[in-house]
Structure 1
Amino acid sequence: MSGPILPEAVWLLTGGAAFAAGVLNAIAGGGSFLTFPALVFAGVPPVSANATSAMAVSPGYLGSLLGFREELKALPRALLWREVSIAAVGGLIGAGLLLVTPSRVFSGLVPWLLLLATALFAAGPHMAQRNGNKGQPAWRLPGLMGVAIYGGYFNGGLGILLMALYTLTGETRLNTVNALKNLNSFVLSLLSVTAFAAAGVIVWSQAIWMMSLATAGGWAGARLAKRMPAQKVRWLVIAAGLTMSGVFFARLP
């Protein structure tokens, strides 16, 4: 068995994961599949790792928004305010649920949450085709509330679920899906991490270090997102989700 990770290796591991997460979140979501495991492997308890991971990737969403500002400007202002408000409320509810969940229970849920997010993302295009051109279904806003609660509770796979939601509800333009995903992810993450900070469960030294690198990664990823073929991005995210799910299932007692 290998020895404990040296402090220098911890900073390299978490910093590299944060930058890569910022890139991945800007492209298709799933960045917390990297930051959350990196923090757990560095020795941070699962609930604190989840809270710290959520704070680390949240500025990356803001960096990504700069790359999708034209897509957001093209959307109705009323739609944006309505969805942002729902995302904000859901994020706070989810954060509150996390803070009252025992660490052992949360650790057992992690691999299932990761697998669920990956499965929904993989099924998104097929289910969207079944939706056809029916426009926005009535369950879009309740669905957004559910995803926002999930995101406040467990940030891992949040972007994937948001992309699945928008794909399932008839949005066919990948760049618009990414813009909405980044906007709502930023809002709900901002409020949920505020709750985590107030509860004292964030590891601040790692959070600040990872925030700076995730922001840089988000800016770089937004530029890359418009150049990469959508199918390649999709397979990349699915592969990351399945890998991390397998790793955490293997860690279960």
Structure 2
Amino acid sequence: MSEILLFILAGFGAGVMNAVAGGGTFLTFPALVFAGIPPVSANATSAVAVFPGYLSAALGFGPEIKTLPRRNLIWAVVAGLAGGLVGGLLLLVSSNDLFSMIVPFLLFVATLAFAFQKQISAFLTTSGWQLTPWGLPGIFTVSLYGGYFNGGLGIVLLALFALWGMGNLNAMNGLKNALSFVISAISVATFAIAGIVSWPAALIMGASAIAGGFAGARIAKILPVALMRAVIILVGLTMSAVFFACLFT
């Protein structure tokens, strides 16, 4: 019962966080590891749990996505599928020990990227350092990261779009959610076929995450976004410290 309650709370909190500002993986992944699920399986299960939210968010940005060049969007989806598949396969061949060594660094970097999102975006847009818009190597690389470890994927995607020179935040968010859905779809399918998903936990978290997403839409209109961002950053730093401590003990 305590584990079920933990999954419900973590899933609901992840749904709220993703609806308000993102960062829900910082709750679901540590909760699954804390419940005794091996790190590789926990990462796969977490990806399944937060997966439905990407689709609903992408649909919410439907008008913005339709303004993007159709040909470029199709190629971006293809590159996202390829990168997500490779990343998912890399996770399958990673041992729990190896993944446990990598996770603290991924969590910490993703937390820093989330914490300094505005500064990173501003720097990239004003520095003149830009990649070729809709470049397939960049999409593939970021998708590979997302297929391997879903945490902070949205922030990394936004940074990539800023490198392209995109300035319409709504269009960037729409493309971010669409590609996140594509990347997660192929990696989730890979994890499911490989049999490394803890389905009871995934279903409980997924259902509560959907409920949290609806609640988060309402909460976002009441609570300051800065407060929610502070909570996400605190959770991310705390979990990074916990995993670093486990790594060296």
Shorter-chain TM-score range: 0.7 to 0.9
Q: Counterpart in 2 of 1:137?
A: 131
Q: Counterpart in 2 of 1:205?
A: 200
Q: CA deviation at 1:199?
A: 0.8
Q: Residue 63 and residue 248 in structure 1: after superposition, are their counterparts in 2 closer, same or farther (change >3 A)?
A: same
Pairwise CA RMSD of aligned residues? 2.6
Q: Check the 8 A contact 1:19/1:215 in 2, yes or no.
A: yes
Q: Counterpart in 2 of 1:193?
A: 188
Q: Residue 131 and residue 37 in structure 1: after superposition, are their counterparts in 2 closer, same or farther (change >3 A)?
A: closer
Q: Which secondary structure does the structure 2 equivalent of 1:132 belong to?
A: helix
Does 2:235 align with 1:246? no
Q: Residue 23 and residue 80 in structure 1: after superposition, are their counterparts in 2 closer, same or farther (change >3 A)?
A: farther
Q: Report Cα offsets for 1:157-182 as digits up to 9, x if no partner.
A: 22232233334443344433322221
Q: Report Cα offsets for 1:119-158 as digits up to 9, x if no partner.
A: 2333443343333366963176323222211111111222
Q: Residue 140 and residue 75 in structure 1: after superposition, are their counterparts in 2 closer, same or farther (change >3 A)?
A: closer
TM-score (normalizing by structure 2): 0.86
Q: Residue 180 and residue 240 in structure 1: after superposition, are their counterparts in 2 closer, same or farther (change >3 A)?
A: farther
Distance 1:241 1:232 in 2: 14
Deviates more, 1:52-61 or 1:80-89: 80-89
Matched AA of 1:244: M
Deviates more, 1:185-194 or 1:163-172: 163-172
Q: Report Cα offsets for 1:10-64 as digits up to 9, x if no partner.
A: 1111112112212322333321111011111111111111111111110111122
TM-score (normalizing by structure 1): 0.85
Q: Check the 8 A contact 1:59/1:211 in 2, yes or no.
A: yes
Distance 1:239 1:74 in 2: 36
Q: Counterpart in 2 of 1:33?
A: 26
Q: Counterpart in 2 of 1:180?
A: 175
Does 2:130 align with 1:102? no
Deviates more, 1:241-250 or 1:74-83: 74-83
Q: Residue 80 and residue 222 in structure 1: after superposition, are their counterparts in 2 closer, same or farther (change >3 A)?
A: farther
Q: Check the 8 A contact 2:76/2:134 in 1, yes or no.
A: no
Structure 2 unaligned segments of length 5 or more: list them: none
Q: Residue 174 and residue 26 in structure 1: after superposition, are their counterparts in 2 closer, same or farther (change >3 A)?
A: farther
Matched AA of 2:140: M
Q: Check the 8 A contact 1:125/1:167 in 2, yes or no.
A: no
Distance 2:81 2:222 in 1: 31
Distance 1:224 1:168 in 2: 32
Deviates more, 1:73-82 or 1:93-102: 73-82
Matched AA of 1:79: N
Percent of counterpart pairs with the same letter?
Answer: 53
Q: Residue 127 and residue 199 in structure 1: after superposition, are their counterparts in 2 closer, same or farther (change >3 A)?
A: same
The equivalences for 1:61-210 within 5 A come to 61-132=54-125, 137-138=131-132, 141=135, 142-210=137-205
Matched AA of 2:72: L
Distance 1:169 1:28 in 2: 22
Structure 1 unaligned segments of length 5 or more: list them: 1-7
Q: CA deviation at 1:75?
A: 2.6
Distance 1:228 1:163 in 2: 24
Q: CA deviation at 1:207?
A: 1.3
Distance 2:129 2:31 in 1: 40
Q: Check the 8 A contact 2:7/2:28 in 1, yes or no.
A: yes
Distance 2:33 2:83 in 1: 25
Q: Residue 83 and residue 24 in structure 1: after superposition, are their counterparts in 2 closer, same or farther (change >3 A)?
A: farther
